Chains A and B, each alone.
Chain A
């Protein structure tokens, strides 16, 4: 167990809908990262938050947004869902600002858009 909690584990929804994925980092970790992993694909970085503020942005679609709350948990909001958004979404956390430190991954949320 990495100490990073993601909910829900599975999510099935329809095209055009909106969903929210939740992540609680390890106790003491200030950074939260979101990654998308499609079938047989690598880890695509979406966005990073550090202590409540956005720190880095990857190839995140405009239909996607995220935030980190004062208690450091984070939510990833996906709207106007398309079939291609079906993927495994991982959250990870680290102690500091990242770049040169270990990431602890959650077990992921499997999103299926039908």
Chain B
């Protein structure tokens, strides 16, 4: 089955700096890569996703890049703000594989 590894497990960055979280996956059939954000005490929520037919996707300060050859994808947050502090989960999946496989999460702390 699919195996998703996520690094780092914790990350602290100064407010205004950029943050990068990286994930690798094992199943070459995976073609859907979402990122979920979980604020303290809240539910996970999708913030951005990318499908394998594109290499990069942006949404304001958030971007995701995908390297299918190397089987890794990354989340980039620019101009970080205190409200970006949360746990971020990457995941991998594909149609026909009913479940998404999640990474172990990255706790991002933005230092004011």
Q: Looking at chain A's contact residues, is the secondary structure mostly helix, strand, loop, or mixed?
A: loop
9-residue interface stretch from B14-22, B45-53, B56-64, B69-77: B45-53
Spell out A's residues near B (CB within 8 Å): 2, 31, 33, 41-43, 45, 48, 50, 55-56, 58, 90, 97-103, 105-108
Q: Looking at chain B's contact residues, is the secondary structure mostly helix, strand, loop, or mixed?
A: strand
Query: Complex formed: what's the CA distance from A2 to B96 in Å?
Result: 25
Q: List 16 A-B contacts (CB under 8 A).
A: A33-B99, A42-B103, A48-B98, A90-B43, A90-B44, A97-B95, A98-B93, A98-B98, A98-B99, A98-B100, A100-B31, A101-B32, A103-B34, A105-B43, A105-B45, A106-B43
Is A102's CB under 8 angstroms from B105's CB? no
How many pairs, one residue from A and one from B, have CB atoms within 8 Å of each other in the complex?
66
- Option from B36, B43, B94, B105 in Cβ contact (under 8 Å) with A99: B94
Spell out B's residues near A (CB within 8 Å): 31-32, 34, 36, 42-46, 49, 51, 89, 93-105
From B42, B49, B98, B103, residue with most partner A Cβ within 10 Å: B98
Q: Smallest CB–CB gap between A68 and chain B, Å?
A: 13
Is B95's CB under 8 angstroms from A100's CB? yes
Could you list 4 further interchain pairs (A-B, Cβ under 8 angstroms) beyond the known A43-B105, A100-B95?
A: A98-B98, A99-B95, A99-B96, A108-B43
Query: Complex formed: what's the CA distance from A99 to B99 in Å?
Result: 5
- Option from A42, A43, A56, A102 in Cβ contact (under 8 Å) with B98: A56
